[in-house]
Amino acid sequence: MSVNKLGKFAVIGLSAAWIAGCSTTATDTDSSTVAEDANASSAANTDSAYGAGQDSATTSVIVEEKDTGMDSLAGVETVFYFDFDKSIVRPESREALAKHAAYLVSNPDARVVLEGHADERGTREYNMALGERRAKAISRYLTIQGVAASQIETVSFGEEVPVAFGHDSNAWQLNRRVEVRYE
């Protein structure tokens, strides 16, 4: 069999598999729901999501809550502020960053995204670079504390995602930040 014919058979076979995989059959009910009497729902079961089913019957789906182990980070700051035109980690941020680092070191599967921001002063390009430098400064601090570089992603939003919309020093201070977000 020639390579040309083999290629045609492969294309036809993959197309057939793709079409078969995309076909769905519509059903009236979802098999993962369990109909319950509307009076039987109790507030004690917090792992359930409730919604209306057929004929206004209450249905529930059990949702298991995963223990993420993030209890050690409860109350720890996730937003770190910077001085005007600077990307130096402030001394008052170091304690909270050390807690984030300890969590990441003890949970090697955890991933964190560091989102850098700047205030509205300066050009758009400059602010994107400044947000990146700020996110990288936090990243360097975490890696010095022992966090694997593969656990950290940095992104810069520059001036594009402000939290304060004023045009004064208070608003600018709130916008010069890095936000820590876990994935």
Reported as a single tens digit per residue, the pLDDT across 85-143 is: 999 999 999 999 999 999 999 999 999 999 999 999 999 999 999 999 999 999 999 99
Question: What pLDDT does 11 receive?
Answer: 59
Give per-residue pLDDT as tens, 19-44. 555 544 444 444 443 344 444 444 44
CA nearest neighbour of 141 among 114, 172, 174, 177: 114
Q: Model's pTM, two decimal places?
A: 0.62
CA nearest neighbour of 148 among 91, 175, 103, 108: 108
Contact 147, 110 (CB under 8 A): no
> What structural domains does the chain harbor?
34-65 (no CATH), 70-182 (3.30.1330.60)
Question: What are the tokens at 62?
Answer: 């059990």
